[in-house]
């Protein structure tokens, strides 16, 4: 199976192994939707089994666990479940584990030697902490003979600003969504957005918009009608998932689609599981066109045929924003792109969903205050295409003068946002290439110096520590180059 790994997956595994060899106990693999995190995890499970390990794959969603179980079966790896509704066979070396079930049964379970944590941005929650303490795992609880952690996430940030350093001791970065798009691994994004909704009076609760306040703003015939009309205009016949604020909102949106002659259904976290599964199956099979949902399908759903995502739920969560769009990015026969219809103004809060980002274990902290109405986009006065505010040129050839310019908006009319790169992006890319070129030239001497230092300090594996430290320094230099360009 190792021969089937893509280069990025092989590099990720190499970096994870180096992290363990250098003394780390809880690396976090940061990789975007579609990069093959589960496939990478399966290979790590295979390697751990070869060494006689006991492995848990830990998640909070049944959809993620069922998908992982399917992939373990396809790989011919033995496993059992620690999940409600499934029998537990302690003899099996691999367990697919529900966080909620494990916490309730913790004293009856066999301790693992490796815990792979999916959706790891949730791992600072008390339930995970209880499991880590019991397994002697992670930076806070690790003891000799305890379990190693391997975290998986596309977004190592939380709404409350708490850092992942509580549960992880190093970040292993792979690539950006744009890298995967450029390599043909993910679908290109065509992004459309109207004037963002007026969220004046919408309060924030626990770092997120208050759902009651938000529903009062977003669940209006004008916004819903615009969403249906614009979908009919630019995305008709595309399998679509719409993200709504509330259960009632989802039903209202589905009803408007049905009145327009579109096959649509509404589901939510409170729907019967069979009803949710049927909606997704019908969408995959082409029996319906639009699934309107609330508190569903943000993670753990693999439906590659989806080629349109409608955002009707403003969010302050970068994770939710990126994961929602990620539902439409997987490649599928006949799929040319993923159309995003952002009626929530989310691009104004979080920026280009495909761009590279800088992550830190120390937490996201507070974001600089911006008005809910502020979007980092502008309209080309020549062709009226909407482009990112930092762009110096539009796709039509128009050049923006480097001075303040009034942003033109067509109220209620969906406009395409040009997510393509610009001169600034080219400069950043050139700087990063320069950093990597210098690093390659200096690698041998730098590694030798680090090995000498490690030996002076009495480290057990000086070569592994030197390699890991060198890679960390290179990544740090790359991040500085990215930050230098804003």
Q: Decide: 377 and 347 in contact? Cβ < 8 Å.
A: yes
pLDDT range class, residue 3, cuts 50, 70, 90: low
Q: Quick one: pLDDT at residue 401?
A: 66
Which CATH number belongs to the domain containing residue 117 in this structure? 3.40.50.300
- Who wins on pLDDT, 4 or 117? 117
Q: What is the mean pLDDT of residues 219-237?
A: 93
Q: Helix 462-484 and helix 7-21: axis angle, to 10°?
A: 120
Q: Are residues 291 and 192 in the same domain?
A: yes
Smallest Cα–Cα separation from 24: which of 478, 468, 481? 468
Q: pLDDT band at 467, cuts 50/70/90?
A: confident
Q: Are both 211 and 268 inside the same structural domain? A: yes
CA atoms within 13 A on the CB side of 135: 30
Instruction: Examine residue 30 and state whether it is found in any structural domain, yes or no.
Output: yes
pLDDT (0 to 100) of residue 410: 35
- Tens-digit pLDDT profile for residues 177-220: 999 999 899 999 999 988 889 998 999 988 899 999 999 999 99
Question: Residue 437: enclosing H or E segment and its boundaries?
Answer: helix 423-457
- Kindly state whether residue 473 falls inside one of the protein's structural domains: yes
pLDDT digits (tens, 9 = 90+) for 129-163: 999 999 999 999 999 999 999 999 988 887 777 77
* Residue 339, pLDDT score: 96
Distance, in Å, from the CA atom of 122 to the CA atom of 108, rounded to the nearest integer, reads: 24
pLDDT at residue 411, as a whole number:
42
* Whole-number Å distance between alpha carbons of 416 and 385: 6
The beta-strand segments (E) located in 330-466 are 338-342, 377-379, 386-388, 415-418
CA distance readout (Å), 442 to 268, 456, 474: 54, 21, 11
Name the token pair of 253.
């949106």
Nearest alpha-carbon partner for 327 in 264, 242, 218, 251: 242
* Residue at which a domain ends, from 176, 199, 226: 176
Report the sign of the C-alpha dihedral through residues 152, 155, 158, 159, in that order.
negative
pLDDT of residue 2: 55
Structural domain contains residue 239? yes
Do 194 and 335 share a domain, yes or no?
A: yes
- What is the signed CA dihedral for 162, 164, 167, 168, rounded to 10 degrees? -160
Claim to verify: residue 159 and residue 101 sit in the same structural domain: yes
Number of neighbours of residue 447 by Cβ within 10 angstroms:
15
Contact call for residues 113 and 50 (beta carbons, < 8 A): no
Q: What is the pLDDT of residues 45-72, one digit of tens each?
A: 999 999 999 999 999 888 889 889 999 9
- Would you state the pLDDT for residue 449? 77
Q: Are residues 41 and 136 in the same domain?
A: yes
Whether residue 115 sits in one domain with residue 56: yes
Answer yes or no: is pLDDT of 300 > 80: no
Q: Is residue 419 part of a domain?
A: no
Total domains present in the chain: 3
Length of the chain (residues): 486
Based on the fold, state whether residues 347 and 293 are members of the same structural domain.
yes
Answer whether residue 116 is part of any domain: yes
Q: Of 355, 377, 403, which residue constitutes the final position of a domain?
A: 355
Cα–Cα distance for residue pair 154/174, rounded to 1 Å: 10
Mean pLDDT of 224-250: 94
- What digits encode the pLDDT tens for the residues 10-45? 889 999 999 999 999 999 999 888 788 888 999 999
Torsion on CA atoms 168, 170, 173, 177, rounded to nearest 10:
30
How many percent of the chain have pLDDT more than 70? 79
Pairing between β-strand 148-153 and β-strand 170-173 as defined by DSSP bridges: unpaired
Kindly indicate the confidence band of residue 260, based on its pLDDT and cuts at 50, 70 and 90: very high
Does position 338 have pLDDT exceeding 80, yes or no?
yes
| Domain co-membership, 339 together with 441 | no
- 439 SS3 class: helix
SS3 435: helix
Confidence label for 100 from pLDDT (cuts 50, 70 and 90): very high
Judge whether 435 and 427 are in contact, CB under 8 Å.
no
**Would the CA dihedral through 193, 195, 197, 201 be positive or negative?**
positive
Q: What is the helix (H) or strand (E) element at residue 232, kind and residue range?
A: helix 221-234
Q: pLDDT, tens digit, for every residue of 357-398?
A: 888 888 653 333 333 333 445 555 554 455 555 566 666 666
Return the pLDDT at 438: 64
Whole-number mean pLDDT of the chain?
A: 83
φ/ψ of residue 293, rounded to 5: -135, 160
In this structure, the answer to whether residues 158 and 285 fall within a common structural domain is no
The structure's pTM equals 0.74
Whether residue 414 lies inside any domain: the answer is no
Residue 376 belongs to a domain:
no
Domain annotation covers residue 250 = yes
Asked if residue 137 lies in contact with residue 26, where contact means CB atoms within 8 angstroms, the answer is: yes
Q: Are residues 253 and 161 in the same domain?
A: no
Give Cα separations from 339 to 230, 238, 250, 354 (angstroms).
Answer: 11, 9, 20, 13
Residue of 259, 249, 231 whose CA lies nearest to 293: 249
Q: What was the pLDDT predicted at 403?
A: 46
Q: Is 111 left (phi over 0), alpha (psi -120 to 50) or beta?
A: beta
**Rounded mean pLDDT of 252-260?**
95
Burial class (CB in 10 A: 0-12, 13-18, 19+), 172: buried
In terms of residue numbers, what domain contains 322?
180-355
% pLDDT > 90, the chain: 50
92: phi then psi, degrees, rounded to nearest 5: -75, 135
Place of tokens 């669940």: 219
The CB-side HSE value for 385 (13 A sphere, CA atoms) comes to: 19
Q: What is the DSSP string of 161-182?
A: ---GGGT-SEEEE---HHHHHH
Burial (CB count <10 Å: 0-12, 13-18, 19+), residue 411 = exposed
CA distance 281 to 303: 9
Same domain membership, residue 123 and residue 244: no
Please tell me the distance from the alpha carbon of residue 192 to that of residue 276, in angstroms, as a whole number: 28
Q: What is the per-residue pLDDT for 374?
A: 38
Could you tell me which residues come within 8 angstroms of residue 125 by beta carbon, excluding any fewer than 6 positions away? none
Q: Do 320 and 290 form a contact (C-beta atoms < 8 A)? A: no
The domain boundary residue, chosen from 355, 376, 391: 355
Alpha carbon separation from 145 to 113, 136, 262 (Å, rounded)? 8, 8, 58
Given a cut of 70, whether residue 447 has pLDDT beyond it is yes
């Amino acid at each position: 199976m190792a021969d089937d790994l893509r280069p990025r997956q092989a590099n990720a595994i190499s970096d994870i192994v180096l992290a363990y060899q250098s003394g780390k106990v809880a690396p976090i693999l940061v990789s975007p939707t579609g990069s093959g995190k589960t496939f990478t995890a399966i290979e790590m499970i295979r390697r751990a089994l070869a060494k006689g390990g006991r492995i848990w794959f830990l998640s909070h969603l049944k959809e993620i666990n069922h998908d992982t179980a399917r992939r373990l079966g396809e790989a011919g790896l033995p496993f059992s479940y620690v999940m409600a509704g499934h029998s537990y066979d302690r003899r099996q070396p691999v367990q697919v584990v529900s966080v909620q079930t494990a916490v309730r049964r913790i004293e009856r379970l066999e301790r693992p030697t490796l815990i792979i944590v999916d959706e790891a941005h949730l791992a600072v929650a008390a339930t995970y902490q209880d499991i880590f303490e019991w397994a002697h795992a992670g930076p806070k609880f690790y003891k000799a003979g305890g379990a190693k952690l391997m975290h998986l996430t596309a977004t190592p940030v939380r709404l409350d600003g708490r850092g992942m350093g509580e549960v992880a001791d190093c970040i292993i970065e792979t690539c950006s969504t744009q890298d995967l798009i450029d390599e043909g691994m993910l679908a290109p994004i065509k992004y459309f957005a109207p004037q963002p909704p007026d969220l004046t009076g919408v309060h924030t609760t626990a770092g997120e918009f208050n759902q009651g306040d938000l529903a009062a703003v977003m669940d209006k015939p004008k916004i819903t009608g615009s969403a249906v009309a614009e979908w009919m205009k630019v995305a008709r016949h595309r399998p679509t998932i719409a993200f709504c604020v509330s259960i009632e909102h989802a039903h209202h949106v589905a009803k408007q689609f049905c009145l327009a002659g579109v096959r649509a259904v509404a589901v939510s976290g409170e729907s019967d599981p069979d009803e949710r599964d049927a909606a997704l199956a019908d969408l995959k099979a082409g029996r319906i066109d639009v699934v309107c949902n609330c508190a569903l399908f943000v993670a753990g759903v693999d439906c590659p045929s989806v080629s349109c995502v409608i955002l009707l739920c403003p969010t302050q969560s970068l994770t939710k924003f990126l994961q929602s769009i990620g539902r439409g990015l997987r490649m599928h026969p006949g799929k040319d792109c993923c159309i995003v219809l952002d009626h929530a103004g989310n691009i104004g809060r979080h920026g280009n969903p495909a761009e590279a980002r800088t992550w830190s274990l120390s937490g996201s902290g507070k974001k600089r205050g911006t008005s809910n109405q502020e979007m980092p986009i502008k309209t080309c006065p020549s062709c009226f295409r909407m482009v990112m505010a930092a762009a110096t040129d539009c796709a039509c050839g128009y050049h923006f003068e480097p001075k303040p310019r009034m942003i033109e908006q067509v109220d209620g009319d969906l406009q395409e946002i040009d997510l393509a790169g610009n001169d600034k992006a080219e400069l950043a890319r050139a700087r990063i290439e320069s950093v990597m070129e210098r690093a390659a030239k200096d690698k041998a001497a730098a590694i030798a110096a680090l090995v000498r230092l490690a030996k002076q300090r009495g480290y057990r594996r000086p070569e592994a520590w030197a390699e890991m430290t060198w890679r960390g320094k290179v990544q740090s230099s790359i991040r500085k180059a990215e930050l230098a360009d804003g």
